[in-house]
Chain A
Amino acid sequence: MLLIHCPYCEEDRPELEFHGAGEAHMERPKNMGDISPEDFEKFFFIRENRKGLVFERWRHLHGCGRFFNAARHSVSDKFICTYKAGEPKPELSDEQIAAVLPPAKGTPANEPIVSKGDAK
Chain B
Amino acid sequence: MRKFSGFAVVREAMRAHKGWAEQWNTPEPRKQYDVIIVGAGGHGLATAYYLAKEFGITNVAVLEKGWLGGGNTGRNTTIIRSNYLYDESAGIYNHALKLWEGLSQELNYNVMFSQRGVMMLAHNVHDVQVSKRHVHANRLNGVDNEWLTPQQVKDYCPPINIGKSVRYPIVGAALQRRGGVARHDAVAWGYARAAADMGVHIIQNCEVKGINRGSDGAVTGVETTRGTINAKKVGVVAAGHTSVLMEMAGVQMPLESFPLQALVSEPVKPILPCVVMSSSVHAYISQSDKGELVIGAGTDQYASYSQTGSMHILTDTLEAICEVFPIFSRMKMMRSWGGIVDVTPDRSPILAKTPVSGLFVNCGWGTGGFKATPGSGNVFAHTIAKDEPHKINAGFTLERFRNGRLIDEAAAAAVAH
Q: Are A and B close enough to touch in the complex, i.e. CB under 8 Å?
A: yes
Q: Measuring CB to CB, which residues of chain A are less than 8 angstroms from any residue of chain B?
A: 1-2, 15-16, 18-20, 22-23, 37-38, 40-42, 44-51, 54, 56, 72, 74-77, 102, 110-112
Q: Which has the most chain B C-beta neighbours within 10 Å: A18, A42, A48, A49?
A: A49
Partner of A15, one of B241, B243, B310, B401: B310
Residues of A within 8 A of B311 (CB): 1
Cβ contact within 8 Å between B301 and A47:
no
CB distance from A37 to the nearest CB of B (A): 5
Output the least CB separation between B103 and chain A (Å).
27
Stretch in B135-143, B148-156, B254-262 touching the partner: B254-262
Which residues of chain B are within 8 angstroms of A15 by Cβ–Cβ distance? 301, 310, 312
Q: Contact partner of A19 among B255, B301, B310, B342, CB < 8 A? A: B301
Shortest CB–CB separation between residue A68 and chain B, in angstroms?
A: 14
Q: Kindly provide the distance from the CB of B58 to the nearest chain A CB, expressed in whole angstroms.
A: 29
Q: Name the contact of B306 in the complex, choosing from A41, A46, A74 (C-beta under 8 A).
A: A74
Q: A45-B345, A49-B256 are in contact. Are A56 and B302 (CB under 8 A)?
A: yes
Which positions 78-118 of chain B face chain A at CB distance < 8 Å? none
CB contacts under 8 Å to A, within B265-316, are 300-308, 310-312
Interface centre among A19, A75, A111, A112 (most CB of B within 10 A): A112
| A74 and B303 contacting across the interface, CB-CB below 8 Å | yes
Shortest Cβ distance from A38 into B: residue: B402
- Report whether A74 and B305 are in contact in the complex, using a CB–CB cutoff of 8 Å: yes
Contact of B304 (CB < 8 Å), options: A19, A74, A110 = A74
Pair A47/B241 contact, Cβ less than 8 Å: no
Q: Which of A23, A47, A54, A76 contacts B253 (CB 8 A)?
A: A47
B302 with A1: CB separation less than 8 A: no
Given contacts A49-B342, A51-B244, 15 further A-B contacts (CB under 8 A): A20-B302, A38-B402, A41-B401, A46-B254, A48-B252, A49-B256, A50-B243, A50-B244, A56-B303, A72-B302, A74-B257, A74-B305, A77-B308, A102-B306, A112-B307
Give A113 Cβ to nearest chain B Cβ, in Å. Answer: 10
The distance in angstroms between the C-alpha atoms of A72 and B305, with both chains bound, is 12
Flag whether B66 is at the interface (Cβ < 8 A): yes
Compute how far the CA of A42 lies from the CA of B311 in the bound complex, rounded to whole angstroms.
Answer: 34
Contact A49 B243 (CB under 8 A): yes
Q: Do A1 and B253 form a contact, CB below 8 Å, given A74-B306, A77-B306, A110-B67?
A: no
CB distance from B191 to the nearest CB of A (A): 21
Residues of A within 8 A of B302 (CB): 2, 20, 56, 72, 77
Tell me, rounded to whole Å, the shortest Cβ–Cβ distance linking B260 to chain A.
14
Known contacts A16-B312, A54-B303; A49/B70 CB under 8 A: no
Q: How far is the CA of A10 from the CA of B239 in the complex (A)?
A: 37
Q: How far is the CA of A15 from the CA of B70 in the complex (A)?
A: 29
Residues from chain A with Cβ under 8 Å of B303 in the complex: 20, 22-23, 49, 54, 56, 74
Please name all residues of chain A whose beta carbon is closer than 8 Å to the beta carbon of B305 when the two chains form the complex: 51, 74-75, 112
- Tell me the smallest distance from the CB of A8 to a CB of chain B, in Å: 19
**17 A-B contacts, Cβ less than 8 Å apart?**
A15-B310, A19-B301, A20-B300, A20-B301, A41-B254, A41-B401, A41-B402, A45-B254, A45-B401, A47-B254, A51-B243, A54-B303, A74-B303, A75-B306, A77-B304, A77-B308, A112-B306
Closest Cβ of chain A: how far from B69's Cβ, in Å?
12
A47–B310 contact, CB under 8 A?
Answer: no
Nearest A residue to B65 via CB reads: A112
- Residues on B with beta carbons closer than 8 Å to the beta carbon of A111: 307
